[in-house]
Chains A and B, each alone.
Chain A
């Protein structure tokens, strides 16, 4: 299968390893990964902040980049951005009266998947350790991000994958379904409430005794990780793609620089 990677702007600019890990996982499964060069951002920040007019060119750019026959399905390592592509893009196109864009946006949305969704539903991954060689000998807790949970209904796909990683010690996060308080510009406009939410999330993470917290959205992880870091905690955050990509031969390090194999591992 030819799979188009939608890296998302935050992963592209801030967490390239998450994108590299995604590529690595898909290639290990024998698929070809392409990167539509015109892609930039899903525009969710604009839409969710009320800047619909400013969102239009961002959405149009995404649709232009992904409305091609060059791939079979698209994937992004982010529940939130995929939810935006699926649910918001047609709405944004409608709001500016562009019905052609609306139709194309809906078609792009229909073949865009969140990473765990693609792995579980389309590519048939049931055992990450066996099928991907995933190995991650660390105590980990998992935060299911709101948009993956409630807009995409990912259910337990992400945690099921994590559970099958060899060597992992996955511990339940108390009040896992509670929002971390990120919410895009919410964390700036309502910084006090956001901080209060983050405080509780961080406290719950610390009670698990995990070395790190993983999840499927780099933005939430940046928020949670930024809070833990400010509090002087040693607990860090790591995207689940990087845990799945970690192998015995090329383990992801959780303390220093992370080295992830982007090559084909033994399957």
Chain B
């Protein structure tokens, strides 16, 4: 057991594909202009949302499972150092090798080194968020190592030289015809008669990858869960590409964030009920593989695990935000998010899109990194994500928390306060006294002047212009409720009790 010595260190943030290079509103504006994208996303998110609701409603104890899942993850965070050491001990005792990576580049170097040691220049890959996050494929390519994505959607994205836009269905933004065209253009030996029937396309992917699976010597994967008390790793998948990669090669290299641990085997019964129903909307995914180190005569004989920090310890240091690390990457939050549904995943810049991405990315990188400070604002705070989250991450509360971290980080830095700063200060002054608000409300008739003949305000200046780009504002009333009440009720009371049945004073009419 190592002990904690010295001063608490400053958080060390993560690197890799976690940064938004442009602000969310700007990226969203561009993505919203793509009608095909919106149609594809609308169709896909609605389909998966309905499936999820149906299979979740089948379980009488769904809320109890969520409660258990949430508490288990909270417990993991509280006990993380101890559980990591326990996992390491068990995994190592069974023939696995553990590597620790502080950040994306260290993880990439470790993986490349392990591949080089095998003498191979090709690897097959199981879909993994962690390796997307660290940009492993790009790094390996620079090192002369070809990484073949084997999940159908990842394959589509890789062939198209695109980026995933969803953590579960990375090609959710493409429809069948677009995918057929990508295959025809990029897949060596694709049948020119290929139709856009999904079954036909899936068979084309099978044929394309079969040889790779059967001959690959090295595979790279992520992991969905790691059980501390046994040193067991788990991968949850559907197509069998995971089983191929995890079973047939001689060497298996898994990259996993340190937060993926579960304390014990018993906890798996909770998460294997929560995850499939929340992610694909199935009662159970077709295949789950579990392995504990090396098993003689069965599966890879060289088994490695790279434990990745890359900003997770920094996220953990944020007491309000740390529960973002409870995420099991099911994607339920993005499937129910009205913002994600319209912009798609690319607008979020990072590997992690949608509501969870809007909190996780800035927590991993620090809110001041590139344009990530715009991510916590990419939500109307409707709360659908919190309801859908199988481990009950209170995403709306963390979004609000990160907004305050952002606002505070800007204070004093700017020479001039922004329009928003000025407006918020003024509003704070006006709205912290009934008297002041009442006085200001006496100016409401001025607003009536601003409205046209049709009693609508159609254009506001400055930052408020965003409102009037698609909405009118009604002309304000001649008199506020407060001032009406003071005159009609309190005034009347002072003059001898309650008045008669008051019909509304004409003055308040709009």
User: Are A and B physically bound partners?
Assistant: yes
- Most chain A C-beta atoms within 10 Å of own C-beta, residue among B29, B343, B470: B470
Chain A residues with CB under 8 A of B387: 150
A-B residue pair count with CB separations less than 8 angstroms? 231
Residues of B close to A186: CB separation below 8 A: 377, 379-381
Q: Is the CB of B470 within 8 A of A16?
A: no
A164 within 8 A of B: no
CB-defined contacts of A48 to chain B, threshold 8 Å: 381, 400, 403
Instruction: Find out whether the CB atom of B424 lies under 8 angstroms from the CB atom of A187.
Output: no
- Across the interface, do A16 and B380 meet the contact criterion of CB distance under 8 Å? no
- Nearest Cβ in chain A — how far from B448, in angstroms? 12
Name which of B377, B381, B403, B490 has the most chain A CB atoms within 10 A of its CB.
B381
Nearest Cβ on chain A to B418's Cβ, whole angstroms: 11
Partner of B481, one of A20, A53, A55, A261: A20
- CB-CB under 8 A from A263, the residues of chain B are 500-503
From known contacts A192-B32, A263-B501, infer whether A46 and B472 are also in contact, taking CB-CB under 8 Å: no
Instruction: Please tell me which one of the listed residues B400, B433, B471, B502 contacts residue A38 in the complex, with CB atoms under 8 A apart.
Output: B433
**Min CB–CB distance B32 → chain A (angstroms):** 5
Bound-state CA distance A161–B283 (Å) is 37
Chain B residues with CB below 8 A from A194, complex form: 380, 466, 470
- Contact count band on B: 35 or more
- Which residues of A, 150-189, contact B by the 8 Å Cβ criterion? 150-151, 177-179, 181-189
* Contact between A7 and B482, CB atoms less than 8 A apart: yes
Asked if A71 lies at the interface with its beta carbon under 8 angstroms from chain B, I say no
Contact A43 B431 (CB under 8 A): yes
Asked whether A197 and B503 contact (CB < 8 A) given A49-B403, A57-B432, A192-B29, the answer is no
A222 / chain B contacts, CB cutoff of 8 Å: 473-474
Tell whether A187 pairs with B489 under 8 Å between CB atoms, given A9-B431, A50-B404, A54-B428.
Answer: no
Chain A neighbourhood of B463, CB < 8 A = 188
Q: Say yes or no for B95: interface residue by CB 8 A criterion.
A: no
B-contact bits for A25-41, CB 8 A (1 contact / 0 none): 00000000001111111
Which of A110-118, A127-135, A225-233 has 4 or more CB atoms under 8 Å from chain B?
A: A225-233
Given the known interface contacts A57-B432, A230-B470, the answer about A181 and B427 at a Cβ–Cβ threshold of 8 Å is no
Q: A177 to B46: give the CA distance in the assembly, Å.
A: 13
Shortest CB-to-CB span from A234 to chain B, Å, is 13
Whether the pair B383, A146 counts as a contact (CB closer than 8 A) is yes
Partner of B386, one of A43, A61, A150: A150
Q: How far is the CA of A51 from the CA of B405 in the complex (A)?
A: 9
Given contacts A7-B481, A226-B474, contact A189 B503 (CB under 8 A): no
Interface residues of A in 221-267 (CB under 8 A from B): 222-223, 225-227, 229-230, 250, 257-264
Assess the B509–A257 pair: CB atoms within 8 A.
yes
Say yes or no for B338: interface residue by CB 8 A criterion: yes
* A261: contacting residue among B434, B471, B486, B503, CB under 8 A: B503
CB–CB A12/B437 < 8 A: yes
Cα–Cα distance between A230 and B476 once the two chains are bound (Å) = 17
Q: For window 10-50 of chain B, which residues contact chain A by CB distance below 8 Å?
A: 24-25, 28-29, 32, 38
Cβ of B474: which chain A residues have Cβ within 8 Å of it? Answer: 14, 222, 225-226, 229
User: Which residues of B lie under 8 Å from residue A198 when comparing CB positions?
Assistant: 470-471
Residues of B with C-beta under 8 A to A138: none
- In the docked arrangement, what's the CA distance between A147 and B425, Å? 25
Which chain A residue shows the least CB distance to B24?
Answer: A190
Asked if residues B420 and A185 are in contact (CB atoms below 8 Å), the reply is yes
Q: Which residues of B lie under 8 Å from residue A150 when comparing CB positions? A: 382-384, 386-387
Minimal beta-carbon separation of B26 from chain A (angstroms):
9
> Given the interface contacts A227-B471, A262-B503, does A179 sit within 8 Å of B382 by beta carbon?
yes
**Residues A54 and B501 in contact, CB atoms below 8 Å apart:** no
Alpha-carbon separation in the docked complex, A213 to B480 (Å): 23
A191 at interface by CB-CB < 8 Å: yes
For chain A, give the interface size range: 35 or more
* Interface check A105, CB cutoff 8 A: no
| Contact A13 B476, beta carbon cutoff 8 Å | yes
Binary A-proximity of B365-381 (CB < 8 A = 1, otherwise 0)? 00000000000111111
Interface check B479, CB cutoff 8 A? yes
**Cα separation A257 to B407 with both chains bound (whole Å):** 42
Contact in complex: B400, A35 (CB < 8 Å): no
Q: Among residues 338 to 381 in chain B, which have CB atoms less than 8 Å away from a CB atom of chain A?
A: 338-339, 342-343, 376-381
Q: Does B441 have its Cβ within 8 Å of any Cβ on chain A?
A: yes
A4 located at the interface, meaning its Cβ lies under 8 Å from any Cβ of chain B in the complex: no
Q: How far is the CB of B348 from chain A (nearest CB, A)?
A: 12
Q: Is A203 an interface residue (CB 8 A)?
A: no
Residue of A54, A229, A264 touching B472 (CB-CB under 8 A): A229
A-to-B contact residues, CB < 8 Å:
7, 9, 11-17, 19-20, 35-41, 43, 45-55, 57-58, 60-61, 65, 95, 146-147, 149-151, 177-179, 181-199, 222-223, 225-227, 229-230, 250, 257-264
Enumerate 30 A-B pairs (CB-CB under 8 Å) in ascending A order.
Answer: A12-B437, A13-B441, A14-B476, A16-B479, A16-B481, A17-B504, A17-B508, A35-B489, A37-B435, A41-B431, A41-B437, A46-B427, A51-B407, A57-B429, A60-B432, A183-B381, A183-B382, A189-B377, A190-B24, A190-B377, A193-B339, A196-B32, A197-B380, A226-B472, A226-B473, A227-B470, A227-B471, A230-B458, A261-B504, A262-B503
